[in-house]
Structure 1
Amino acid sequence: MSFSKDARQNIRSTDEAAYEVYVGEEKDLMRTNEMITQRHEEHDATYNVSSSFLLDLYEALPDGMMNVYLCKVADQFAGGHITLETKDMSYGWQGWGDVDVDIPVNDLIEWTIMNNARDKGAEWYDFNGANVQRLSKYKAKFNPELRAYKRIEKGMPGMDFVSEVYKRIR
């Protein structure tokens, strides 16, 4: 009930027969990353997460820790979100949704991710990246609890590498 009226209406009023949201497979991770890359290019935004890095991460992490949630509308791929999940929290890491369809793709994917996380026992869903100005208004409609975080810009030798790795997975 704390979501905005728009988010609640999108989740409750969208005909469930008009879309499908599900957890995809490894091949879907690559396709989703291609679409995320394209979306960043459209906004002249930097996106340095390569498909090979994602594949390495997917294969290295325990099953179920990295997931890709997909949305299909009329049997067409309409969105995808990559999550990192622990027992206590689900992190919405990267995602995109087709804005040219009449279905609120992103809202429906986010809602599915939240429900799946809750069903697994997680108490928190981290939208990750509320400080991205073009996305903050969208994320605010889910009434998030803001939390401060720290970012390392310069450090001791070796820490720059750790910082780079963190930036890629955050």
Structure 2
Amino acid sequence: MQLLVIDDSSIWDDFVDSSPYGTLFHKWGFLKAIEKHTGYTLLPYAMYSDDNLICIFPAFLKTNYGLNVALSPPPRTGVPYMGFIMSSDYADLTQNGKEVRLREIIKLVTERLEEISPAYVSFQLTPSLDDIREFKWNGYSVDPLFTYYIPTDAPLDDIFSGFSRSTRNMINKIRKNKFNMEMKESNDLSLFSDLLSKRYEEQGIRFPIMNMDYLADLLRLYPANIKLYYVYDENGNIIGSSIVIIYKDKVISWLGTPKPDVNLPVNELIFWELVKIARETGRMFEIGGADTQRLCSFKSRFNPSLETNYRVFRRRNIGVVAEWVYLNLYKKSSSLM
């Protein structure tokens, strides 16, 4: 097995599209947009067995306060997970075969990263990569992370019946149009910027992404996969918003408005509409935000499944400073809607 740095977007994206573990966050254009707007350098690692591409791993390198850090993903990108993705044949391997492959991949990546002497390394893995033993055995520390999913393969009424009573009552009123709200798709990102900036400032919360040009680039690159929605009241005023990722088997509530400043069930409407979109397109609905306690009491009312993914990290003694910067100055922006 060998590790190469590849710079061929078609090879990379073909792998992401064909892998059952690939996400839109792994796509070449998405990674290059992150590189462009964060100042981190993309390291597009690819692992080959003979001539077969079996794994890709996008990492990002930057020097902060004189210390090299390697992250996947970088902070303030809105990306909940990244890290390794395996080829489609990984699921068909025996347990021994999976362990051998994962061991070789982690050994190769760790050795390559050691060449740049990072003081701090952090990877937030996708929920599909749940065997983190090899990381622990290679000196990585592990933090569990969480997200919410709503499966949508059941009839819509059955999904609805699983919601809490208060949520069902609210959505019944929404269905009867008692609040005179409507959710519409839009291409006007400036309204989203104004709305989020205002609400985050009012709540004293750090803005979760580095700039709006980053989002504009992503919407331009992936118009079929990234959708912007606004919620309007009866007077045509925008009272809520959501940016949604639609890719493979998921509809992901990605970026959205913090708690609206109106006494209307805006986020209930958004979630209900997205559940319907997910079901109509044969996808599950990922709510996210299950790591933030103050958000869980609202999101758990939709009866989601709790899924686990992991952050694995290593640091040298001096890397404590880099970790503190990452966790306190960058990472502690608010979780999104």
- TM bin (shorter chain): 0.7 to 0.9
Question: Conserved in 2, the CA contact under 8 Å of 1:69 and 1:113?
Answer: no
Asked if structure 1 preserves the Cα contact closer than 8 Å seen for 2:231 and 2:240, the reply is yes
User: What RMSD, in angstroms, separates the aligned Cα atoms of the two structures?
Assistant: 2.6
**Larger displacement relative to structure 2 (145-154 or 134-143):** 145-154
2:216 matched to 1:24?
no
Residue identity matched to 1:118: R
Q: Rg: which structure is higher? A: 2
* Residue in structure 2 matching 1:118, options 274, 279, 282: 279
Partner of 1:37: 197
Amino acid at match of 2:304: P
User: Which protein has the bigger strand share?
Assistant: 2
The number of equivalent residue pairs is 156
Whether the 8 Å contact between 1:2 and 1:143 is mirrored in structure 2 is yes
Aligned with 1:22: secondary structure?
Answer: strand
The letter of the residue matching 1:109 is I
The residue number in structure 1 matching 2:262 is 100
Q: Say which SS state the counterpart of residue 121 (structure 1) adopts.
A: coil
Of residues 167, 175, 186 in structure 2, which corresponds to 1:7?
167
Q: Tell me, which stretches of 5 or more residues in structure 1 are unaligned?
A: none
- TM-score of the aligned structures, taking structure 2 as reference length: 0.42
Moved more, 41-50 or 113-122: 41-50
1:90 aligned to 2:251? yes
Q: Which deviations, in whole Å up to 9, do the C-alpha atoms of 1:89-113 show, x marking residues without a partner?
A: 0111111252423x31110011111
Unmatched segments (≥5 aa) in structure 2: 1-160, 316-322
Structure 1 consecutive aligned stretches of length 4 or more whose deviation exceeds 6 Å: none
Is the CA contact 1:87–1:120 (under 8 Å) kept in the aligned structure 2? no
Q: 1:81 aligns with which of 212, 230, 242?
A: 242
The equivalent position to 2:287 in structure 1, one of 121, 127, 132, is 127
Residues 1:6 and 1:34: Cα distance change in structure 2 (over 3 Å): same
